[in-house]
Structure 1
Amino acid sequence: MVTFSIGQWRAWAPEMRDAESWMQWANAPYCPLADYESPELNFLTPMQRRRLSPMARMVFDCAWPLADHRAPMPLVFASQHGETTRSFALLQAMGRHEGLSPTSFGLSVHNAVVGMWSKIRNDNTKSIALSVNADGLEQAFMEAAFLLRRGARAAMVVLAEERPPPAYIPWIVDVPFSYAVAFRIERGAQWRLEKHQDESGVPQLWPNALNFVRHLCLGSAELKNTNGDQHWLWTRTS
């Protein structure tokens, strides 16, 4: 079990880009039909923006305002599928016996986002990239909570998934739409996170991260996230 406080959070998805639109989604969840439009990121230079993939842009859009004008803090980034669009393009190039772009390859690896974050922000604080399963939200929060225990005053938790290329859709069924969500957590006891036993057998309609965002918007005092054989209990204590 770990405890912490959430100082601030932000999320991004097509059609949901501010608190009001996320509240509307929380009250009546749906899958956005809008085309994938990357965040503009006007706080970056054009050269910096060009190097960021659509998924990295989502991450920066969510995380940057939470870190801006604050002391550097460790970052925990988690994703289950990573840069599927960029990786698939590399696989297609290999299938055509074409040479691979070293830049594209370097930006396709799982820790590329945190590397770009560190470089653009000129921030050498510890960063962690987790390749996770369906309970990546909880694993990332546990990792960040341990950083707080080891002395960090605050930590950033970021999760992101992008809608995969059509060729992957039969196998990747847990990304209803592209999204990213960032949380700045601090020492405190506002939230308690722990594993629990769940015998209800009730199916969960949304990925853990989106489910948590929904209940944050709704102000729920308790949330149970279940995927596979992993069961987690979130409790708001204050």
Structure 2
Amino acid sequence: MINFNIAAWRAWAPGLDTVADWQAWSQHPCVLAANSAAPDVSFLPAMQRRRLSRLARMAFCVGWPLAEGREALPLVFASRHGETPRTFDILSDLAADQPLSPTQFSLSVHNAVIGLWSIMRGETSEMTAIAAAGDGLEHGLIEACALLNEGAPAVLLIITEEQPPEAYARCINDVPFPYAVGLLLTPGEQWQVSLASGTAGIEQAQWPHALNLLRQLLDKQQRSFQHTWKNRVWNWQHSL
């Protein structure tokens, strides 16, 4: 079992930025229409913004305000699919025998976001980038709680997924729309998460778990819920 507090959170998806926006979506969840909207990262200098993909912009949008005023804040970045648009562009160039962009390649790797975060914030604390299938949120929590147990006063956990190119539609079916969720975690027992085996009789969630967690954070009545992935059952308990 792992224990932690969620001191603050932020989330972004196209058209969903404020708590009120997410409250409305939570009450009537739906797939958002595909568009090219990107979050506002005007707090960054223009030259730095130009290097950021939408995935990176989403991560910075939710994480930057949570990190304000905190020095030496460890970061755990979790994304199952990562920079699929950049990767697809690179593969397309290869297929067309076109020269590859070194910058495009360097920004496509899974830890590129935390590298950019470290540079732009001058942050030298521990940072981890993970990809852990459909329960990446829980694996990110394990990593974050390990840092809390080692004495970190707070850890920033960012979960984000980009809408994959259409060519990946048959392979990637767990990203209904682009989204990012940032959680500022602190030591405590507000939340308890434990792991069990066997998923018989447990209904699979309709939405990615980071989005389902947002719905739980906005629903003050429900104190416990489950998230299943393959043969793993994650039991979440909130101490009101």
Which TM-score band (shorter chain)? over 0.9
Asked if structure 2 preserves the Cα contact closer than 8 Å seen for 1:5 and 1:188, the reply is: yes
d(CA) in 1 for partners of 2:93, 2:20: 42
Asked if structure 1 preserves the Cα contact closer than 8 Å seen for 2:88 and 2:165, the reply is: yes
* SS of alignment partner, residue 135 of structure 1: helix
**Which residue does the alignment assign to 2:212?**
211
* Length, aligned pairs only: 238
**Which residue does the alignment assign to 1:124?**
124
> Higher mean Cα deviation, 64-73 or 108-117?
64-73
* Map 1:47-126 → 2, pairs under 5 A: 47-126=47-126
> Higher mean Cα deviation, 151-160 or 190-199?
190-199
* Map 1:213-228 → 2, pairs under 5 A: 213-219=214-220, 220-228=222-230
State the percentage of identical aligned residues. 42
What is the Cα deviation at residue 187 of structure 1?
0.6
Query: If the length of structure 2 is used for normalisation, what is the TM-score?
Result: 0.96
Asked if structure 2 preserves the Cα contact closer than 8 Å seen for 1:11 and 1:182, the reply is: yes
Superimposed CA distance per residue, residues 202-221 of structure 1 (whole angstroms, 9 cap, x where no aligned partner): 12101111111111111231
- Give the counterpart letter for 1:186 in structure 2: T
Q: Alpha carbon RMSD of aligned pairs, Å?
A: 1.0
What is the Cα deviation at residue 34 of structure 1?
5.0
* Map 1:85-234 → 2, pairs under 5 A: 85-197=85-197, 198-219=199-220, 220-234=222-236
Asked if structure 2 preserves the Cα contact closer than 8 Å seen for 1:27 and 1:218, the reply is: no
**Which residue does the alignment assign to 1:19?**
19
Query: If the length of structure 1 is used for normalisation, what is the TM-score?
Result: 0.97
* SS of alignment partner, residue 226 of structure 2: strand
What is the Cα deviation at residue 230 of structure 1?
1.7
Asked if structure 1 preserves the Cα contact closer than 8 Å seen for 2:202 and 2:228, the reply is: no
What is the Cα deviation at residue 71 of structure 1?
2.0
d(CA) in 1 for partners of 2:232, 2:14: 29
- Give the counterpart letter for 2:204 in structure 1: P
- Give the counterpart letter for 1:201 in structure 2: I
- Give the counterpart letter for 2:136 in structure 1: G
Asked if structure 1 preserves the Cα contact closer than 8 Å seen for 2:196 and 2:233, the reply is: yes
* Map 1:37-56 → 2, pairs under 5 A: 37-56=37-56
Q: Which stretches of structure 1, 4 residues or more, deviate above 4 A after TM superposition?
A: none
